[in-house]
Amino acid sequence: MKKRSIRETDVTGMTVLVRVDFNVPMRNGTITDDSRIRAALPTLQMLGGSGAKVVICSHFGRPGGQVIEEMRLTMVRTRLSELLGAPVRDAGGPSGETPAQVASALSAGEFALLENLRFEPGEEANDAEFSNHLASLADIYVNDAFGAAHRAHASTVGVAEHLPAVAGLLMERELEILGKAMIADASTSPVVAIVGGAKVVDKIQVLWHLSEKVDTILIGGGMVAAFFVAKGHSGGAALVTDEDAAAANGLLESGRADAIIPVDVITAPDFSERSPATTCEQSSVPNNQLILDIGPATAKKYSEVISAAKTLIWNGPMGVFEWQAFAAGSEAVARAVAANKMATSVIGGGSTAEIVGSLGLVDQITHVSTGGGASLEFLEGKILPGVAALDDAP
Ligand code: AMP
């Protein structure tokens, strides 16, 4: 069901509570990547421009319901203010009386930011009292935190029971693009999903759900071993349980999407950066070697499939991309996805976003999802509680 959007809602003169995901990477008190703050700007600017009084809230890190000085949103507020080109008041809190005082003192078009929501134990517990407190700060609630939509917390679910609740522009875009990418029809086909990552257990639900929706799935990452075993080959030194192999076999035999597995792989005797790399054919992985990347013939084959796609969904690296010797497969796939200018390309998952980011290819991708866990759950076909809690579109 489509959700009501902020675009269809008149907020003039209203106080709006906006849930964003400002859980940005930080090192030694400095923000190392402000993309998540930038991603929320369209919604915040639209609200400010419409004359709303904008109360912003976000979680940051895992303070576990207590105040941790290093997890205050002070740096985030400064950066947000710079990017908005407008002051952002400190709304304090997140509980207590200060937020309401600051909110009621805002003029039309002004912004305030609450302190880290997870300083309050009621946030992650989806506590009714804290939900009520958040709702009492505003006339309407906007959720633009796609990255937190898979969590049923007070600021993503509880608060929506008490206020008109609508999707922000980022939330709307995430849902629209991810949703559309998973429907193979005349306008989107061929839809090719590329799925990698560390373990088959983490991705089997994604594979299973996608196999119902897309035309082709290209398989990489740590789960390749399970697929080799399912095919009757050696999976090398990795532990492949009967359950993993059965899951892989189930997908290959399902007759759903065409699941393509590597024809060759890069292996090494140890799980370490400097372990000597060897290229092996699909059927000849030695029992004492670990599969750590897809091989060059596979990278070429996958790139060809990618270049013919009209829609591309990529979640999970093809190999241990953090180590140079095992990064070539992920890099080849990233370049092929970026080079296909005819396709709508969608990237989900933190590692995958990191790969395209480090190669400077973000601008050549249609959409890099801001939600790691949330995009994964979306691709698994799960209902995201933070989305379900929003009002349905009229
Ligand atoms: P995920 O978050 O599930 O997408 O997994 C990302 C992680 O998977 C990265 O840290 C990669 O290093 C890891 N990974 C990818 N391929 C392999 C592999 N063949 N063996 C072990 N880990 C892998």
Which of 4, 38, 72, 199 does the annotation list as catalytic? 199
CA distance 25 to 128: 30
Kindly name the residue from 109, 250, 372, 373 that is annotated as catalytic. Answer: 373
- In the chain, what are the domain boundaries? 6-171, 182-379
Annotation says 350 is catalytic: yes
Mutate to test the pocket of ligand 1, among 320, 326, 358, 375 (most ligand atoms within 8 A of CB): 320
- CA gyration radius for the chain? 23
CA of 197 to the centre of ligand 1 (A): 4
**Are both 6-171 and 182-379 of the same fold?**
yes
Q: Would you say the CB of residue 198 lies under 6 angstroms from ligand 1?
A: yes
Q: Is the CB of 292 under 6 A from ligand 1?
A: yes
Residue nearest to atom 11 of ligand 1 (CA): 320
Q: How far apart are CA 161 and CA 236, in angstroms?
A: 52
118 tagged catalytic: no
pLDDT score recorded for residue 181: 85
Q: Which of 218, 298, 351, 379 to mutate to test the pocket of ligand 1 (most atoms within 8 A of CB)?
A: 351
User: Residue whose CA is closest, atom 22 of ligand 1?
Assistant: 198
Query: Strand, helix or coil at 114?
Result: strand
How many Å lie between the centroid of ligand 1 and the Cα of residue 196?
7
DSSP character string of 157-194: TGGGGTS-EEE-HHHHHHHHHHHHHT--STTTPSEEEE
State in Å: Cα 291 to ligand 1 middle. 11
Q: What is the CATH number of domain 182-379?
A: 3.40.50.1260
Q: Which atom of ligand 1 is nearest to the CA of 317?
A: 15
For ligand 1, atom 12: residue with the closest CA: 320
Closest CA to 181 of 197, 166, 193: 193
Rounded CA separation 386/165 (Å)? 10
- Give 275-315 as a DSSP string: SPPEEEETT---TT-EEEEE-HHHHHHHHHHHHT-SEEEEE
Distance CA 347, CA 372 (A): 10
Q: Is the CB of 348 under 6 A from ligand 1?
A: no
Question: What per-residue confidence (pLDDT) applies to 183?
Answer: 82
Q: Given its phi and psi angles, is residue 222 left (phi above 0), alpha (psi -120 to 50 degrees) or beta?
A: alpha
Instruction: Evaluate whether the domain defined by 6-171 bears CATH number 3.40.50.1260.
Output: yes
Residue 184: the pLDDT is 79
CA 355, CA 133: separation in Å to the nearest integer? 40
Question: Angle, nearest 10°, between helix axes 296-307 and 328-339?
Answer: 20
State if residue 280 touches ligand 1 by the CB under 6 angstroms criterion.
Answer: no
- Residue 12 alpha carbon to ligand 1 centre in Å: 47
* Protein residue with its CA nearest to atom 10 in ligand 1: 320
Indicate if 236 belongs to the active site: no
CA 35 to ligand 1 center in whole angstroms: 23
262 lines ligand 1 (CB under 6 A): no
* C-alpha of residue 55 to centroid of ligand 1, in Å: 38
pLDDT for residue 373? 86
Q: Compute the distance between CA of residue 343 and CA of residue 307 in angstroms, rounded to an integer.
A: 8
The most distant pair of C-alpha atoms in the chain lies apart, rounded to whole Å, by 70
d(CA 379, CA 374) in angstroms, rounded, equals: 9
Give the global pTM. Answer: 0.88
Nearest atom (ligand 1) to Cα of 352 = 4
Quote the ligand 1 centre to 320 CA distance (angstroms): 5
Which residue's CA lies nearest to atom 2 of ligand 1?
Answer: 197
pLDDT beneath 70, residues of the chain? none
Nearest CA to ligand 1 atom 3: 197
Q: Is 29 a catalytic residue?
A: no
In whole angstroms, give the CA distance from residue 262 to residue 190: 20
- The per-type count for the chain, helices as H runs and strands as E runs, is 14, 17
Distance, in Å, from the CA atom of 227 to the CA atom of 231, rounded to the nearest integer, reads 6
